[in-house]
Structure 1
């Protein structure tokens, strides 16, 4: 790892990650990217509705419908645990600084959040730990346990994985950020990514949201939704990035290429 990499770990107000559980079943959704049709379809899944907890692994509202996404999350009440993604961190920072160098889309997305939504993002912690039946303690974060913008992929070498997970006292690490769905064993730990609900990188049918169900094992799941509706809503909302957003939904990047790029760059905001 380069010595000059700026790490985005826990905020100054945070201590060690809070611990929750025990829980029999935990639904894990990541990288929502404010895709309401995809989010609604996954939340309607019987196994998600019946889960003891729903953990959201970051990049919650960075997309075309941020306020509506915040309202969906708030409606879940105490059943939901969130961790902070790099997009969530950036939205909070932009709202506080009104950065003059922000792009049109960055400014637009930030402006779509109500004060309550920004206050919510400001409170989202860097990571949480949940005791899950059959799996023991599971650590959830967005990028890695040391930075929300570090990419963990199916191709992450064992050496780097050992470095980024060295502080953990768990048997399972769940990350997001890469938009790739996978589960693998690395150096005695299980490395899991539920994939992205809102913008998955995959080779399957467009309009497929990815998520996971934990307990007593790890189940990687998919849910189909109306992708044409998601594209139409992005345009109707006035999202300056609607064209690129639609292209990613309709022609997702190839996972193999994503892994090669991610393992070359490692840290991506």
Structure 2
């Protein structure tokens, strides 16, 4: 198994181009997170070019946070391009349980077979057929409650599933790992979870044959950067700035990434 530190170093050395179709709340911070971490973001989403661009990018990430009909059309076009080019793609099913439109969109996207699914516990519970206590984009359930649903979802989809929270859980249906670390301030900064999905895309871009290891590496890198940022932050505002700085200086933190993971 490739270690998180090895894969994070590979990502920073290669600076992969990642097509990020995300919500309009997350666009700026997600792009800045990828730039700080060492990847190259492209927020290309329009139907007219999404498919063509996905053939160029090394990976694609899809986030359903702010849905519309044209947005969904662009997502599906991009997924078609990624599939035709053999590129991995990551699904972030934000509040997938909240409305009929979201439930149908998520079902349609799952049928297109994402390589990786990253969500909070309530989202993964809903996708796995369980009862979710989530409200909007916020998790209302602990990660531990969603672990069984994550395993079932991973097996049924043939995908890696990541449940993120205070201690993350990652599974491919057979293997499972936990990733500890981060900071309680992270949920206080909007769109950091959405940005994490984009970082997962950057890691699987440089390890397309290792989606499980790539997902673990992205979560571990996020965790150590969050810890480093929290040490000097006075609150969410200063944390956001320090978090980008910590990602930019990730080389000094890489060895700590390997310490954040444990078998589940």
TM-score (norm 1): 0.35
The higher radius of gyration belongs to 1
Question: By percentage of residues, which structure has more strand?
Answer: 1
Question: By percentage of residues, which structure has more helix?
Answer: 2
TM-score (norm 2): 0.35
